[in-house]
Structure formats: structure tokens, C-alpha cells
Amino acid sequence: MKSAVANDHEQGWDFEKAAMPYVDSLYNTAYRMTRNSEDAEDLVQETYLKAYKYYDKFEEGTNFKAWLFKIMKNTFINNYRKKKLTPHKIDFSEIEESYERVIQKNAPDLIKDPESEIFQDMMDADVKRALDSLPHDYKMVVLLADIEGFSYKEIAEILDCPVGTVMSRLYRGRKMLERTLLDYARKYGYIRGGAEPAKMRSRKDDLKGRKKKDEGAEEVEVREPDENEEEILFKEEEDFEFEVADEEDEEFAIE
Amino acid sequence: MGCEDVRRVIYFFLDGSLNDAKLREISRHLDDCPDCGMRARIQKRLRQFIRRRLTPVAAPERFKVRLSRSLRALSYEL
């Protein structure tokens, strides 16, 4: 019979064998979220150490990669809160309007192949900056779906939210990202259109009246809906009856 | 489904995440409606472009070594 210590060591090896194949994926997302390699390394390290400590809570047969991402998401949010950084707030209707204007004005340019004809001169830095301009909730969903290839259901497990919320954030996140890229394209003359970039309003402005300029209010302060507001907005989208092909009613296994 | 409805689900259509009936309905609409068809093409290309430009960043090797060491150290501590 093995000693408890030997079992612990075995668990350590098992964990390492199971978890290390995902380190690049986690690091990539951590890097995009924290925007620098030092913080990304700290975040991934903290995630792995926590995951190791709670490895016995992981249910065999469930999605281990999603479980690791979930721990990383929680760690990121906790650290983020500790630093008291306020997430950006978005007024989505203005994003949508501006997107529509750019699409409509530039349709003839845009139906050409953007890779070869419109965006070829666009810098990778512009794409990164566009991604970084997203509030972290939206950025996380876009990264998980479009870069890491998680399904809506897996993202819902990672973020602890309904699939409808994932879809709503994905819709908005992608739209914001595309809108920002189209703004860059227009600004640097890759497309011709004259649509002005959206001026984003702060929620504080809406609630408390406009701030005086000399108070140092950021011009591009954006807002995202609070929880209750999200419910209302999602409800609107749920009216379209998103029927996801792989959606099942079973409970998510990840704790 | 009208144009407005179709435009709100184009992303999910492009993700292949809609059920078969919706998928067929939207495919038909995109074939018949040049404006929505154009938007779907633009969004598909923008997404391909973003994906290509955001190439994954791999974790540095020295970090992986450090992480493995930390995990092993922890297994002795716990």
C-alpha cells in the first residue's frame, strides 16, 4: 500500500501530465487579457497552482481544459478587482450605429477581399489595439470562441453564465472589434467612407449629467450593461430564439 | 425571417451553431438578399482576417520549466 505522501507525488505527476499540454492556450489568453508577458506568466502560474490544489475537485470525464480556463478566469477577475481597475463601460447602441454607417458607406470596398485589397497594410498592432479596446468580458468571450475554439456551451461553463449571455457578448464583442477595425481602415485610407467613429458616452454622463471637461473625464469612456440591464438586453435577443445545434439541457459538470 | 433578424444571427450562422431548420432558412435568405449576403461575406472575411492576425502566443520555454518546478515543489509541500 502506498503512503499518502507517495500518492500526493503521484497526483502531482498526473496533474502535470494532464495540465501542461494546455499551457500555451492558457498563456495565449492570459497574454491577451493582461497585455504583457510578466502578468500573463503570473496569471498562468497562479492558475496552475490553484488547479493543482483543487485537482481532487475536478470531475473525471468533464472538460479539463475548460476547468483550467475557468480557474484562470476567476483568478483574473479577482486580481483585476484587487487592483481596483474599473472595467470599461460600453454604450452598445452607438457601436451598432457606427458599424452600420461604416458598412453602408463602404460596402463596395468591403465586398472585395479585405485581406488582399483593403487590410493588407493594416498593422498587426492595430488589430491588437482593437482587441485591447474591448471591455474584458467581451474580449474574453471573443478570445475563447474565436481564438481558442471553445463551443458556446464550454464558454458558458468557463464564465459561469447562460449560453444566451455568451452569444450576446460574442455578438457584441465581435461587432465592437469589427467596428474598431473598420474605423482604423477608414482612418488610414484603406477604405474611403466618411462615417465618423462612434463617440462613446459614459454611463455616468447619462446618470449624473455631463461632466465638465476640466474634470478630466475621458472622452472615450465606454460602458457595458450592468447585470439587470443585461437581462433585459438578452431577453430581447432571446426573442429570436437562438437554437444552438449542440445545446443540451444537462447541467454543467464544472464547479 | 426579415433582414433585421437575419443580421442579428449571421455570426451564429457563420459559427455553424444554428439548428438545421434555421440554417436552411438563413442560407436561403442570404442567397435571395444581396445586402444580407454581402454582410455575411464581409463578416466572414473580417473574422478570417482577425484570426490570421492574432496568431497564438506560445508560453516561453523558460516559463514552462519554472512552472513544472513550482508544481513539483508544491506536490512535496502539500
How big is the A-B interface in CB pairs under 8 Å?
A: 132
The torsion defined by the Cα of B19, B35, A121 and A95, in degrees rounded to 10, comes to: -80
- pLDDT value for B17: 84
Complex confidence, ipTM? 0.87
pLDDT given at position A87: 54
Contacts 24+ apart (CB under 8 A), A225-233: A225/A90, A225/A92, A230/A165, A230/A168, A233/A92, A233/A168
- Spell out the domain ranges in chain A: 4-82, 92-238
Q: Does the beta carbon of B2 lie under 8 angstroms from any beta carbon of chain A? A: no
**CB burial readout B10-40, b (16+ within 10 A) else e:** bbbbebebbeeebbebbeebbeebeebebbb
Domain A4-82 falls under CATH 1.10.1740.10: yes
Query: What are the chain B neighbours of A146 within 8 Å (beta carbons)?
Result: 47, 50-51
CB contact under 8 A, A114 and B49: yes
Residues 13..52 of B with a Cβ closer than 8 Å to A: which? 15-22, 38-39, 41-43, 45-52
Residues of A in contact with B74 (CB under 8 A): 12, 49, 52-53
The answer to whether domain A92-238 has CATH 1.10.10.10 is yes
Mean pLDDT for chain B? 88
Expressed in angstroms, the distance from the first to the final Cα of chain A is: 31
Nearest CA among A141, A182, A144, A189 for reference residue A165: A141
pLDDT in tens, B11-68: 899 988 888 898 999 999 999 998 899 888 888 888 888 888 888 899 999 999 999 9
Question: pLDDT tens-digit profile of A33-86?
Answer: 998 999 999 999 999 999 999 998 898 888 999 999 999 999 999 887 766 555
Q: Cβ separation of A23 and B39 shorter than 8 Å? A: no
Q: What angle (nearest 5°) sits at the alpha carbon of residue A219, between those of residues A214 and A225? A: 125
Nearest to A8 among B12, B46, B75 (CB): B75
Q: Could you read off the pLDDT of A189-241 as tens digits, one per residue?
A: 766 655 455 444 444 444 444 444 434 333 333 344 444 444 433 444 443 33
Contact: B64, A23; criterion CB under 8 Å = yes
Contact A171 B8 (CB under 8 A): yes
